[in-house]
Amino acid sequence: MQTIDEYVVQTLSTWCSDPASAPSRSDETADPAELWAYFSAQVQSRHLDLAMRWLQSIGEGFYTIGSAGHEANAAVAVALRPTDPALLHYRSGGFYAARALQAHSETAIEDVLLGAIASVDDPISGGRHKVFGHHGLGIIPQTSTIASHLPRAVGMAFALGRATTHEEYPADSVVVCSFGDASANHSTARGAFNAAGFAAHSGSPVPLLFVCEDNGIGISTRSPAGWTEQSLASLPGLAYVRADGADPLDLLSTCERVVDQVRTERRPALLHLRTVRFMGHAGSDAEIAYRSERDITSDYARDPILATAAALARAGREPCELLDAYEHSRRLVMDTARRLAATRTRLGSTAEVVRPLLGFDDAQVDRDLRALAGADRTTIFRQLPEDETDGLTLAQAINASLKDLMHGVPEAWLFGEDVGVKGGVYGLTRGLRRAFGSMRVFDTLLDEQTILGIALGSALVGELPLPEIQYLAYLHNAEDQLRGEAASLAFFSDGQYHNGMVVRIAGLAYQKGFGGHFHNDNSVAVLRDIPGIFVAVPSSADSAPGLLRRCLALARGQGKVCVFLEPIALYHEKDLHEPGDRALLAPYQPPAAEPDAGRGADVGRARLIEEGSDVLLVTFGNGVRMCRRARGALAERGIAAGVLDLQWLVPLPEDDIVRYARAAGSVLVVDETRRSGGVAEAVLAALADASYERPVARLTSVDSFVPLGPAADHVLVSEDQIVQSAVDLVTADPTGVLTP
């Protein structure tokens, strides 16, 4: 079967040897320079695809999902500006080449090939993955194959529409986001379309251009005829425009018109771009297994490169000049591929690979915390919270901390479901909208993907997002926005892009008289294995402000993605041991020049709440209160129990765990999450890795969803269980063996 490359060469050669067979000159209007630049970008992209296949064949290339047949997306780049942020589909080689030409970049060929061979000199990922991205070209790297980048694009356009000034992007910028027709069916894509349309309907500026590159097939599965058009054309709030990649003059004109419309009106639009797909889904895809030879070759007549070549011929370009340009690009790309394959350097160690993910600067955290001190706070507090003589509850301490943070960080935005007018389901954000206005504190759609998408996008334009997820169970609807998008950005951009944020999540169990699993979710496994994020869990009013401020400092100063997981059951509790003892209340510590001195909230550090030499109770969240209460019962039995509050689940304070464990006779890990995938597993592993030889046990909740009402007591850790487990551990014959 003739390849698409052979077909192009044969067609251009025929035109060259027999000019009468070439398209006849016509009076069609076109900017010759623009059309030639468009053709050059398309041809460069095609030969990069061919070169990547060759690199793979010699063992030097690792990424062959190509752009062949989709090169018409270069027309979108031609209509935009190099400063317009782009979040691109993985078949965007034409767009990348066209934007590089716009920006007078001479390195586009090297950029793409360095990524394909996983070279450390790849200008976007540093050898970690082949992605279309370049900070200098405004192309933000995306690895999505299922539209997971669409909520971020909506968030970015929403943020650009609201922000008055931003350093990197001009005020009239347009965000462009491309994806495939199969991905348009994904729930993430549908949610993004809905969010963009909803925002526009509500009067919010959303300068966003969606581009659906429709080749009619998702890997091997055909899209039903007419379905993509029908489903996209009916989306409310989005201006729908069709274009054909095989009609370059109309396409260039259409792209220019729709981009100008979005830029001027600041309303979202969707360009439905008809394309074809050549050379299969990827290098390993045997397309002939599910498509006939006739089906494959019939698409050759719709090659966007030949369509543009024909338009150039009609505009007066000599056919031989077109063939020469095609072959010149081949030589240039292949010469570059050979040179880079012979000289490339790849990531050489674990430390090099994970560098963008790990580590943080403690000194920078302290500097950022000090910057919050000294502001006049009486303008936002009717009564300063530190003047509350009885102290504050956990909820009140978090509310006061948020007010201080919003006051000290003008770029901070707080948003989520019911956080604005209502002030949150539990009152955590009460008064914030009144203090800071609806531009900085606002309610969102009831859609967690949209909430996190706003955070992802607004962070890219210089805002500091503080999104709230109303309940931990609701996070699972949108967890990939943290895993696949937020956490991966620094990794795939070699630290050039960050989306620092603090995601507040109300969660964990032990609420009385309200809700089953969806309001009492005790699983955090979904958060603990995401590379590069930080997870803090406050257990009291005295520790919460310091932990929250450190999360904010990590996000603001170092671009980190932080999760602040708040135990709902402790929000409004006042008493520890006896009714009326008010021992859980704590005086509020405002931002200070010496941040939270002695409060023990440092990143990745545990806090020893109570001392005791017989057994160390290692716990967090609700477990801290239960362990402190159990400690009294243990003392009556002659057992001195210490209580260690982990505070940080990621990074887990392993050094502190081992240090305090070695000062105790035994260790009981009290973990309110589930037995499988719970926090206790990691604590036991840390002790085992440190060759800890004293008795150890764990007490966890059951592998079950949390049921409604009193039935929850059957699956959750209880104080009585803590007491009995500690007694059993201390009185057992010590064997030095870990006993999970």
* pLDDT band (50, 70, 90) for residue 738: very low
Q: Does the bond joining 385 to the residue before it have cis omega, within 30 degrees of 0?
A: no
Q: Evaluate if residue 300 carries a pLDDT over 50.
A: yes
* 554 lies in the same domain as 626: no
Instruction: Establish if 588 belongs to a structural domain.
Output: no
* 540 lies in the same domain as 682: no
**What pLDDT does residue 106 have?**
87
208-214 β-sheet, strand order = 139-140, 86-87, 175-180, 208-214, 269-274, 239-244
* 412 lies in the same domain as 520: yes
Instruction: Establish if 589 belongs to a structural domain.
Output: no
* 313 lies in the same domain as 374: no
Q: Which residues of 635-655 are buried (b: 16+ CB within 10 A; e: fewer)?
A: eeeebbbbbbbbbbbbebbbe
Domain boundary among 523, 551, 570: 570
* 470 lies in the same domain as 551: yes
Angle at 523 between CA 517 and CA 528, to 5 degrees: 155
**What pLDDT does residue 382 have?**
81
Where is average pLDDT lowest: 86-100, 241-255, 352-366, 672-686? 352-366
Domain boundary among 524, 554, 570: 570
Stated as kind and residue range, the H or E segment containing 296 is helix 293-298
**What pLDDT does residue 374 have?**
72
DSSP 301: G
713 class by beta-carbon count within 10 Å (0-12 exposed, 13-18 middle, 19+ buried): exposed
**What pLDDT does residue 733 have?**
55
Are 464 and 412 a contacting pair, CB within 8 Å? yes
Domain of residue 565, CATH code:
3.40.50.970
* pLDDT band (50, 70, 90) for residue 164: low
* 621 lies in the same domain as 560: no
* 191 lies in the same domain as 324: yes
% the chain with pLDDT above 90: 83
Q: For tokens 């956490």, name the residue.
A: 487
Distance CA 632, CA 184 (A): 58
**What pLDDT does residue 282 have?**
85
**What pLDDT does residue 144 have?**
67
What would the mean pLDDT of 344-349 be, rounded to a whole number? Answer: 94
Sign (positive or negative) of CA dihedral 122, 123, 127, 130 = negative
* 563 lies in the same domain as 685: no
Distance CA 501, CA 555 (A): 5
Domain boundary among 570, 586, 617: 570
Helices (H) and strands (E) in the chain, counts: 26, 21
Are 229 and 241 a contacting pair, CB within 8 Å? no
Expressed in angstroms, the distance from the first to the final Cα of the chain is: 62
User: How much is the pTM?
Assistant: 0.94
Give a three-class secondary structure readout of 379-442. Answer: CCCCCCHHHCCCCECHHHHHHHHHHHHHHHCCCEEEEECCCCCCCCCCCCCCCHHHHHCCCCEE
What would the mean pLDDT of 334-358 be, rounded to a whole number? Answer: 94
**What pLDDT does residue 366 have?**
87
Instruction: Establish if 481 belongs to a structural domain.
Output: yes
Instruction: Establish if 291 belongs to a structural domain.
Output: no
Distance CA 319, CA 62 (A): 35
User: Tens digits of per-residue pLDDT, 637-668?
Assistant: 999 999 999 999 999 999 999 999 999 999 99
**What pLDDT does residue 115 have?**
95
* pLDDT band (50, 70, 90) for residue 740: very low
- Which of the pair, 739 or 73, is modelled with greater confidence? 73
**What pLDDT does residue 375 have?**
72
Amino acid at 95: F
Looking only at the bridges linking them, the beta strands covering 175-180 and 208-214 are parallel
User: Tens digits of per-residue pLDDT, 410-435?
Assistant: 999 999 999 999 999 999 999 999 99
* 556 lies in the same domain as 661: no
What would the mean pLDDT of 201-208 be, rounded to a whole number? Answer: 96
Instruction: Establish if 198 belongs to a structural domain.
Output: yes
List, in order, residues 6 or more apart from 410 with CB less than 8 Å away: none
* pLDDT band (50, 70, 90) for residue 611: very high
What would the mean pLDDT of 283-288 be, rounded to a whole number? Answer: 84
Instruction: Establish if 26 belongs to a structural domain.
Output: no
**What pLDDT does residue 211 have?**
98
**What pLDDT does residue 736 have?**
44
Instruction: Establish if 24 belongs to a structural domain.
Output: no
User: Tens digits of per-residue pLDDT, 517-564?
Assistant: 788 899 999 999 999 999 999 999 999 999 999 999 999 999 999 999
Structure tokens at 536: 């803090």
Sign (positive or negative) of CA dihedral 6, 9, 11, 13 = negative
**What pLDDT does residue 358 have?**
79
What would the mean pLDDT of 597-613 be, rounded to a whole number? Answer: 85
**What pLDDT does residue 594 have?**
67
Distance CA 557, CA 536 (A): 17
* 321 lies in the same domain as 375: no
Distance CA 289, CA 300 (A): 18
C-alpha closest to that of 594 among 371, 364, 392, 361: 371
* 193 lies in the same domain as 142: yes
Q: Evaluate if residue 278 carries a pLDDT over 50.
A: yes
Domain of residue 704, CATH code:
3.40.50.920
* pLDDT band (50, 70, 90) for residue 165: low
Instruction: Please give the residue range of the domain that contains residue 726.
Output: 607-739
List, in order, residues 6 or more apart from 277 with CB less than 8 Å away: 68, 69, 70, 91, 215, 216, 217, 299
C-alpha closest to that of 699 among 722, 719, 720, 679: 722
Q: Which long-range contacts (CB under 8 A, 24 or more apart) does 359-363 make?
A: 360/534, 360/554, 360/558, 360/560, 360/603, 361/557, 361/558, 362/602, 362/603
191: Cα separation from own chain's centroid: 16
* 539 lies in the same domain as 644: no
% the chain with pLDDT above 70: 97
Instruction: Provide the CB-side half-sphere exposure for 606 (13 A, CA).
Output: 27
Looking only at the bridges linking them, the beta strands covering 607-610 and 641-645 are antiparallel
Q: Evaluate if residue 570 carries a pLDDT over 90.
A: yes
State how many domains the chain has: 3
* pLDDT band (50, 70, 90) for residue 25: confident
Sign (positive or negative) of CA dihedral 149, 151, 154, 159 = negative
What would the mean pLDDT of 51-55 be, rounded to a whole number? Answer: 95
Instruction: Establish if 148 belongs to a structural domain.
Output: yes
